[in-house]
Amino acid sequence: MRENSIEQKSSSFIIIVSILIPVVVAILFGVKLKDYGFDIEPLSFLPPIYATTNAITAVILVAAVIAIKNGNRKLHERLMTTAIALSVAFLVMYVAYHMTSDSTKFGGEGTIRFVYFFILITHIILSIAIIPLVLITYVRALANKFDKHKIIAKITFPIWLYVAVTGVIVYLMISPYYVN
């Protein structure tokens, strides 16, 4: 009975959070604190930090899969909780950077420009899609619905890994164009 109620109670929360996060990020992405009279230095040091956070998240996701395949559920749980925390930290840093700094334009030309925008667009779309997937996967584990957890985790893992890895790739591709 308890397990079912956890899933039922969390479904509205998951829907609200899955809509609210992308909407709030989109709104805040357009807010520049300097336009509102705040005298805040651009947080230009953040992009390599949040790119590193994405890289660490990718490594932790792979380690978590290895842990569960080796039967170490407790380590898997800790690693997945850490991956979620890192993703939240990334999001906070990303929004803070964009609220204090102008967006950087990609300066590449030709094929590399197409590759960059393909990676960027798929990264953005999947970063929105991953929110409910991670939350549903996590809740199913909390509810001890491991059969259902495993099914959705097989979808969630590769998408989350792609988002984490492409976040690093996008950073590496655009970093030569950052203005210091």
HSE of 38, CA atoms in CB hemisphere, 13 A: 11
Q: How many whole angstroms separate alpha carbon 155 and alpha carbon 157? A: 6
Average pLDDT score over the chain? 92
Q: How many whole angstroms separate alpha carbon 134 and alpha carbon 30? A: 26
Q: Which domains does the chain have, with CATH numbers?
A: 2-177 (1.20.120)
Q: How many whole angstroms separate alpha carbon 9 and alpha carbon 121? A: 33
List all residues 6 or more positions away from 95 whose beta carbon is below 8 Å from its beta carbon: 25, 28, 29
Other beta carbons within 10 angstroms of residue 103's beta carbon come to 11
Q: Distance between terminal CA atoms of the chain? A: 57
Asked if pLDDT for residue 85 goes beyond 90, the answer is yes
Note the pLDDT of residue 159: 98
Confidence of residue 3 (pLDDT cuts 50, 70, 90): very low
pTM of the full structure:
0.90
Residue of higher predicted confidence among 102 and 148: 148
Helix (H, G, I), strand (E, B) or coil at 41: coil
pLDDT by residue (tens digit) across 112-123? 999 999 999 999
